[in-house]
Structures are given as structure tokens and as C-alpha cells.
Copies of this chain bind each other. A is one copy, B any other.
Amino acid sequence: MAKIKAAINGTKKDAILKKAASLFRAKGFKASSMRELALKIGIEAPSLYNHIGGKSELLQEICFKVAGDFNNQLAELEASPDSVVSQLEQLIRFHIAMMMESFDEVYVSNHEWKYLEEPMLTDFLQQRKQYETRMVQLLNKGISNKELKNVHPQVAVLTILSAVRGLEFWQRYKKEIDADVLASNMVNHLLTGLRK
């Protein structure tokens, strides 16, 4: 009984989170009102508070879910026996897949995190920083074992992360450019410039 209720609440809250991600992406966190979110769901604004703690909780859950997904994927790759170049390619392709499958959530995580409240804001930024650090270590490994050119690893990580982040503009090109073509081109562009 409690289980069923939890499941029902879960799906309802998930539905709210989904709509919130869509709204926050389209209008920005601060410009999105709880009334508008409620309207999209088909209830009155005060009824939202039966399922969620508040507006800022919605942002938190979106941002930390995305951060967790990326952290988990990177951890999985780090444990794999693949070459550094292969790991980099897989990571880039994962970013592409995330952008395709969870566009709203990734976009919100990338653009609206600054409205997180402390101490979550600090936590989130630390997770980001650590993700970058681990990527730098991956590149350093590739430089050591001669897979990669002797590039500046921090700059290369920044370039890669910035480029994949730009995938958010792909929405506009969805009909014109095939996703696989896009992915292969970007992977080649980013890696052929690094590969020895």
C-alpha cells in the first residue's frame, strides 16, 4: 500500500520534474513561475507542493541527476581496459547521447546551476571540477603512453567539453544533420587534432 503510493507519487513527481526541466530550459529558472509549471501539468499551483518541496528543489534534482549520470559514466570508463583514445571517443559519444536523450535536463544543468542554493551550489561545482580533473588525468595518461600529442591537457579538456556542450545547438539542425554523422564528425574533429 505504502509501496503503491510511493510509486504513484514517484511517477507524479517525475512528471513534474520532466515538465520543470522543459520549462526551465525554455524560459530560464528565474523567469519560470510555479503557476506556469502547474498550468502545464494541469493542476493549480498550490497543489504542486503536495509532491515537491519547492521550486529550488526541482532545480537541485535536475542538476544532480545529470551530474551523477556523467560521473558514473566516467567512472565506468576509467575502469575499462580500453585505450585512452577509445575512452575519449566513448566519453564524447556519451555526451552526445545525453544531449539527445535528456536535452532539457542537460541544458538546465549547464545553464541554470548558478541558481542552486548553498550548500548544494558548492557541492555541484566541486563535482564539476572533479570531473574535469579526472579528464585531465585521462589525457595525461594518453600523453605519457604516447597515444596523444604533447598538448596542454587542461586546454584540451576545456576545448572538448566546450565543443560537446555546443551540442545543445544541434536541436536546430536535427532535421538537416543525421545524429551519427554529427557525432562522427565531431569525434574526428576533436581527436584527429590530438592523436599522434
Contact = CB atoms under 8 A, between A and B. Distances in A.
Q: So how many copies of this chain end up in the complex?
A: 2
A34 interface: no
Given A161-B166, A162-B169, A186 B155 contact: yes
Interface stretch (A10-18, A50-58, A75-83, A176-184): A176-184
A155 to B, nearest CB: 4
A114 to B, nearest CB: 7
A192 B189 contact: no
A40 interface: no
A174 B81 CA distance: 35
30 contacts: A28-B28, A28-B30, A111-B111, A151-B189, A152-B177, A152-B185, A154-B173, A154-B177, A155-B177, A155-B182, A156-B185, A158-B166, A158-B169, A158-B170, A158-B173, A158-B186, A159-B166, A159-B185, A159-B189, A159-B190, A162-B164, A162-B165, A162-B166, A165-B166, A166-B166, A189-B194, A190-B193, A191-B193, A192-B192, A192-B193
Interface of A: 27-28, 30-31, 111, 114-115, 151-152, 154-156, 158-159, 161-167, 169-170, 173, 176-177, 181-182, 185-186, 188-194
